[in-house]
Amino acid sequence: MCGIVAAAAQRDVVPILVEGLRRLEYRGYDSAGVAVLTGDEIQRRRRVGKVTELDQAILDQPLQGGLGIAHTRWATHGEPTEHNAHPHISEDNLAIVHNGIIENHAELKEMLKAKGYRFESETDTEVVAHLVNDQTKQGKDLLAAVQAAIHELQGAYALVVMSKADTSRLVAARMGCPVVVGLGEGENYIASDVQALLTETRRFQFLEDGDVAEMTVSGVRIFDTDGNPVERKISESSLSADAVEKGEYAHYMLKEIFEQPRALADTLSERVAGNRILEAVFGPKAQAIFEKVKRVHIVACGTSYHAGLVAQYYIEQGAGLPCRVEVASEYRYRNPVVSEGALFIAISQSGETADTLAALRYAKESGYLATAAICNVPESSLVRESDICLMTRAGPEIGVASTKAFTTQLVALALLGVALARHNGMTDRIERAYIRQLLHVPVLVEHALKLEPQIREWAKHFADKRHALFLGRGPTYPVAMEGALKLKEISYIHAEAYAAGELKHGPLALVDAEMPVVAVAPNNALVEKLKSNLEEVRARGGRLFIFADPDAGIEPSEGMEVMTMPDHIEPLQAPLVYTVPLQLLSYHVALIRGTDVDQPRNLAKSVTVE
C-alpha cells in the first residue's frame, strides 16, 4: 500500500505532488510527506494524518523546487508518526519514497549500522535510503546506485530516489508494486497509479517487475532487471480527471453506490448481442480454453472473495462445473492439488492486491488449464499476467469500501458462468433468458436505490449498537457476508454473517434486543426455510430487519421490520440487487456514527503488501 508521486519539471512541482497525493489517498492515509530539491538542498515536510495536514504544513512553511518526491502512507513497519513518514533521507544526501515491504530489512539494517549509518525511523524504507547512499559514496551515479542497491533487496517495492549529487534526475524501481511513468510536455512524472497524474497527462508507461527508470524533464529511460534499455508501451488513458471527484455527493462511497446502474450497464455493454454472450470479449484464446474447462478454482480477497462465493452458484448450478472458492492469502501457502482441466480465476478490483497476484503467479506454475482475471483496472498486473480476462467497467472506485466494484464483478462473473455453461450443455433458450435477466439488472438496481429514505430510518436502530448479525441462504449468503463486511469496515460495528440455517448451531446464543439481525430474503427455493430461521431469532427476543421479496410472504410484526424489495427479482439477479440496500444501510449507519466513510481507520483501498 502507500502511494508515491514524483515529478521533474521546469516549474515548481509541489502543487503537482500534493494533488497527486490527494488522488492517491485511497492507498493509505495515516501520514504524508514531500521532499524537493531547492538548489542543491533537500527540503522536506512531513505530517501525521491526511494530505490536508501536509498541505497546511506547506502553507505554513512553503517549499518549492523543480524536482520532487512525495508519499502517502499506510503503516507496515513502525507506527504512523512523523519520523516514520516518508520521504526518508540518508545523511542529507538523498531522499526516497517507497511502497511495499523489504523482507530482509533487519539484516540489512545491521550491516548498515556496522558501517556507521544512523537510523531515525522504524521503517524498512530507511534501509533502502542508506543502501543507495552507500552505493553513491562508492562513486556510482544515482541510476547505477539504485540498480546496485535493489540487488540487495528481498520483498516488494515501488520506489523513487532523488539525490543532491544529481539535481536533474529521479530514479524509480519496481518489484511487485505498481509504478507508472507519466509523460508530459517538457516535464515528466512517476506515480503508483494513473489517477495521481490525470490532471497533468494522459500518456503513460507502466513499469514491469525488475524495471528501473531514470527520469528528467526531457525524457525517461527504462532498464530491465539486467540493466538493458527496454521500451515499455505508451498508453493513452481514457479516464478523465474529474472521474475521481465526488461531485454533488457527500462521500465517494455514496457516489459509487449510486453509479451502479451505469457501471453495470457499461459492464454488460458490447459483451452480449441478440441476448447471447460474445465469447470473444474474454480474449482470442477464450473459446479454446472454455471448451476444455472441467472445473473452476476462484481465488480473491475481501469483497472480491465474496463475489467469488456468489459465482460458485453461477458456475456450479448454472454451468454444472465443480467450483471451489478461497481467499488468496490461504491459497498461496497451502500447496493446492490441481486437477486436469481446472480454470483458475482471480478476482480483484485493483488488480494489484499482493495476495491475489501471488496466487495468480503460483497458479501459473501449477498446471492449470489457464488463468483468467475479473478486474477493474486494465493496466493492472493481474490483467497483464492472466491468459484471459473480462474487465468490469465500474470506473475508478475511490471509497475504501468496495461497492460498484462488487456488483460489476458479479455481473462479469455471471457472464463468465454463462459462457462456461454454453460449453457444458446450456441451451440457447436458457442462455437468452439469463442474458435478458442480466440486462435488466441496472433497472432493478435503480429501483433498489429508491429505498434510501427508508434505509436511512433503519440506520438509526443500528447506530448505537456494538454488534450485528447478517443472515442469508444460498447465493444471498455471500451477500450477507458482504453486508457484514461493509458495516464493520466503515461503522466499526462488529458484524458477522451466517448462513441462516447455521444460526441454531451456536450464534443464536448471541441474540438479544441489543443485537440487530439483518436478513436478505429473496423469493427462492429456500425462502420457507429462511422464514423458520427468522422465527428462531424472533422467539429469542432478537430484532429483525429483513429485506424481502414482495411475494416471500414475510410481513412486518412485533420485533420484525420488513422492507419490500423491487418486484420480480430472478435468482440470478438477486445477489446483485440485494447487495444495494446493505451498502446503503452501512453508509447511513456510518454517517450517524460520524466515522470517516471513505477512508476508514486502519485500512487502505489497495492492499499491495502481504
Per CB under 6 A, residues contacting ligand AGP are 301-304, 348-350, 353, 356, 400-402, 489, 607
Q: Which residue is nearest to ligand AGP (CB)?
A: 302
Q: How far is the CB of 114 from ligand AGP (least distance, A)?
A: 39
HEC readout, 433-483: HHHHHHHHHHHHHHHHHCCHHHHHHHHCCCCCCCEEEEEECHHHHHHHHHH
**DSSP code at position 279:** G
User: CB of residue 5 vs ligand AGP: minimum separation in angstroms?
Assistant: 20
User: What distance in Å separates the CA atoms of residue 94 and residue 242, rounded to the nearest whole number?
Assistant: 35
- d(CA 200, CA 196) in angstroms, rounded, equals 9
Looking at the Cβ atoms of 243 and 513, the one nearer to ligand AGP is 243
Could you tell me the three cell numbers for 445? 438496481
Which CB atom, from 205 or from 353, has the smaller least distance to ligand AGP?
353
Closer to ligand AGP by CB, 201 or 349: give it: 349
Residue written as cell 472521474? 243
Q: How many CB atoms lie within 10 A of CB 539?
A: 11
Residue with cell 460474445: 278
Residue 278 CA neighbour count, 13 Å, CB half: 13
The grid coordinates listed for 363 are: 497458479
Euclidean distance between CA atoms 187 and 181, whole angstroms = 11
Q: Which is nearer to ligand AGP, 260 or 304 (CB)?
A: 304
Q: Which helix (H) or strand (E) holds 277?
A: strand 276-277
> Shortest Cβ distance from residue 351 to ligand AGP (Å)?
7
Active-site hit among 2, 177, 323, 389: 2
Q: How far is the CB of 221 from ligand AGP (least distance, A)?
A: 31
Query: Shortest CA distance to 564 belongs to which of 578, 579, 544?
Result: 578
Looking at beta carbons only, is 172 or 299 nearer to ligand AGP?
299
CB of 544 to ligand AGP, least distance (A): 25
Between 73 and 404, CB nearer to ligand AGP: 404
* Total residue count of the chain as it appears in this document: 610
Q: Is the dihedral of CA 130, 136, 142, 143 positive or negative?
A: negative
226 burial class (0-12, 13-18, 19+ CB within 10 angstroms)?
exposed
Q: Give the span between the Cα atoms of 112 and 106, in whole angstroms.
A: 10
2 is catalytic: yes
Report the candidate in 404, 391, 572, 601 with the shortest Cα–Cα distance to residue 489.
601
Q: Rounded to the nearest whole angstrom, what is the least distance from the CB of residue 13 to ligand AGP in the complex?
A: 29
Supply the minimum distance, in Å, between the C-beta of residue 401 and ligand AGP. 4
Q: Take residue 494 and report the three cell numbers written for it.
A: 462488529
The catalytic position among 50, 255, 404, 605 is: 605
Name which of 559, 479, 473 is nearest 523 in CA terms: 473
Active site residue 605: yes
Q: At 264, which amino acid appears?
A: L
The nearer residue to ligand AGP, 132 or 405, going by C-beta atoms, is: 405
Half-sphere exposure of 283 (CA within 13 A, CB side): 17
Annotated catalytic sites, by residue?
2, 605
